[in-house]
Amino acid sequence: MDLGTAASTLPTGNSGTGDSPRTTKAKKQKAVNKQSAAGKQGAKGKVEEPEVDEEAEAQSYREARLAAVNAVGREAAYPHKFPVTCRLNEYVEKYVKIEDGARLPDVVECVAGRVMRLAGSSNKLRFYDLVGDDVKIQVFADAQTYGEGEDFLEDQNRIRRGDILGVRGFPGRSKRGELSIFPLKIAVLSPCLYMLPKAHYGLKDQEIRYRRRYLDLMINPQVKKTFQLRSQVLQYLRKYFTDRAFVEVETPMMNQIPGGASARPFVTHHNDLDMTLYMRVAPELYLKQLIVGGMDRVFEIGKNFRNEGIDLTHNPEFTSIEFYQAYADYHDLMELTEHLISSMVKDLTGSYKIMYDPDNTGAENPGVETKKSEPVEIDFTPPWPRFSFVEEIEKCSGTKLPRPLDSAECVETMKAICKAEKLDWPHPPTATKLLDKLCGHFVEPRCMNPAFIKDHPQIMSPLAKWHRSSPDAAERCELFVMGRELANFYTELNDPQTQRRCFEEQAKDKAAGDDEAQFMDEGYCVALEHGLPPTGGWGLGVDRLVMFLTNNANIKEVILFPAMRPSVKDQPKRTGLGAGTALAGVAPAAPTGAAPF
């Protein structure tokens, strides 16, 4: 495509192939700055470095590239089609056996990718690293082999780091052994208008990485690997359950009643129906209605929304998988959980044991000393230990909890334990919140390797069935790894009268100020009156599982676009600064006029 003859006189950035008028001007200005700095010596002879406004220079770079785009028109700058004959990973696989120094001039391929490195030794020879499909090949641009009738220098001078290139040429390998394509024609398919952070420095600023994930993926290869493994986890889960005759279903994400979990919901409004709706906190109640309807094995992978705090393990929008199996109980689900998770870890990583760094949060604090713990080995080899919820609290605290567990006497006893352990009371200090607090203090920290905490108090488990042999308990179990909940499951409560009473108890907690207590759902109780068979139900947090498998201690590292507070300074201006500028490692430049691309 013809981008205009004016562009052909301008050299490629970082090419080292000659100076344009604007480059010469920049060098002269640099010399002036150096002389000026030499005159600014202090008493001890120290030279004050001239200040460089990288933000202004980056803005100037963008404006120059925009001017070049506008000069040639959008059709030339952004072509509709490039006939790719071979993806880059296919190219590498296809021509990996080419010997050093060999070329195949009779074979023509068309490849495309992003330029991540530019180099050149003269106006007759240029080199580019073309990246895509998780591989890199070299573009060995030689004027002697370039297409007949094509302007070699003009085409090369359009290219900048970050541009999307289409290359038509023949395969070969350089004398140094680099797999290459020798272009007959190069076309810029989409120019990058910003200077990218240098590969040497990378992109480490967390705020920018999370807000502009495309830049993070572009610069940091490990980030892409994280999300590729996340995809493998989802594929594994789907195959595991479909292979066992489960049916994948979809249930509503906007509900009139936010049921299925104890959590604060997000509230929205349906204008046409003039009604308040809640973003779902869990799909549980809908999935169990499908069991009532005769779909004996169902599962759903999807988003849940909880209007709660954001920290290293919590994001208000998160991914879970839930399944429900008729004629199973929580003992069956413990066995299934052990098999599913241990098999997944072994199949995806090659071992039951993985290394995990609890300090690997992705944070970069230059100049700030932070205490680092040693990476730990997590062993997923089954079988896993099982701890009884109340028994472990009593054993660790040395105090017998009065029964019933929601009595005033028990509440005061638990407050006394909290005081003795120097723990703040939860608000409001209900029996359920105090029990959860004590379990988090005494029991959960013991679950470094995978372990089950089972037989939760019934008052904490309004949807779980009462325990067959332990009064006040429910047949509920949670899987913990590194002290964090990973899965929650139980024998489902299928007695509609008991279910109503449990909902009523939750209503009392809500009236006492617990905004995470569950709502009364009469429609679900009516469904139970039609007969829910003995059923086991199970839910797992996909994000947290991926955190362990990718050695990330921050949930934002495994969510492509995590929840972030708005940042005014991060918003790109139409004619100003954008992503990838004014960052550590960005090569400053001060172009004037229309830069080629």
Confidence bin at 143 (pLDDT 50/70/90): very high
Average pLDDT estimate for 264-269: 95
What tokens were used for 151? 């302007």
Q: How far apart are the first and last CA of the chain?
A: 11
**Residue pLDDT, tens place only, 151-160:** 999 999 999 9
Instruction: Identify the residue with better confidence: 572 or 456.
Output: 456
Q: CB count, 10 Å around CB of 519?
A: 16
At residue 407, does pLDDT exceed 80?
yes
pLDDT of 18 reads 36
Where residue 55 falls among pLDDT bands split at 50, 70, 90? confident
Mean pLDDT of 426-430: 92
Contact 265, 307 (CB under 8 A): yes
Do 557 and 220 contact (CB within 8 A), yes or no?
A: no
Statement: residue 490 has pLDDT above 50: yes
Q: For residue 141, which of 151, 2, 95, 163 has the smallest C-alpha distance?
A: 151
Using CA atoms, how far apart are residues 17 and 152, in angstroms rounded to an integer? 13
Average pLDDT for the chain: 87
Domains and CATH numbers, the chain: 59-196 (2.40.50.140), 221-364+375-385+447-557 (3.30.930.10)
| Residue range 4-33: mean pLDDT, rounded | 38
**Per-residue pLDDT at 32 exceeds 60:** no
> Over the stretch 523-560, which tens digit does the pLDDT of each residue have?
999 999 999 999 999 999 999 999 999 999 999 999 99
Question: How large is the average pLDDT for residues 203-229?
Answer: 95
Q: What is the mean pLDDT of residues 292-303?
A: 99
Measured between alpha carbons, how far is 26 from 591 in angstroms, rounded to an integer? Answer: 8
- Report CA torsion sign: 295, 301, 307, 312: positive
Which tokens hold the place of 175?
A: 């004398």
Q: What is the pLDDT of residues 162-175, one digit of tens each?
A: 999 999 999 999 99
β-pairing, 267-270 vs 275-279, is antiparallel
pLDDT in tens, 66-85: 999 999 889 999 999 999 99
The pLDDT score that the predictor gives to residue 510 is: 81
pLDDT at 25: 42
Instruction: Kindly report the backbone phi and psi dihedral angles of residue 233, in degrees, each rounded to the nearest multiple of 5, phi listed first.
Output: -60, -45
User: What per-residue confidence (pLDDT) applies to 202?
Assistant: 79
For the stretch 330-356, pLDDT in tens is 999 999 999 999 999 999 999 999 999
Identity (one letter) of the amino acid at 422?
Answer: K
Left (φ > 0), alpha (ψ -120 to 50) or beta: where does 245 sit? left
Residue 187 has pLDDT above 90, yes or no: yes
Q: Which pLDDT score is estimated for 191? A: 97
pLDDT above 70: percentage of residues in the chain: 84
Cis? peptide before 562, omega within 30° of 0: no
For the residues 98-113, what does the mean pLDDT come to?
98
> Residue 499 contacts by C-beta under 8 Å, 6 or more apart in sequence?
462, 463, 493, 524, 525, 528
- Reported pTM: 0.85
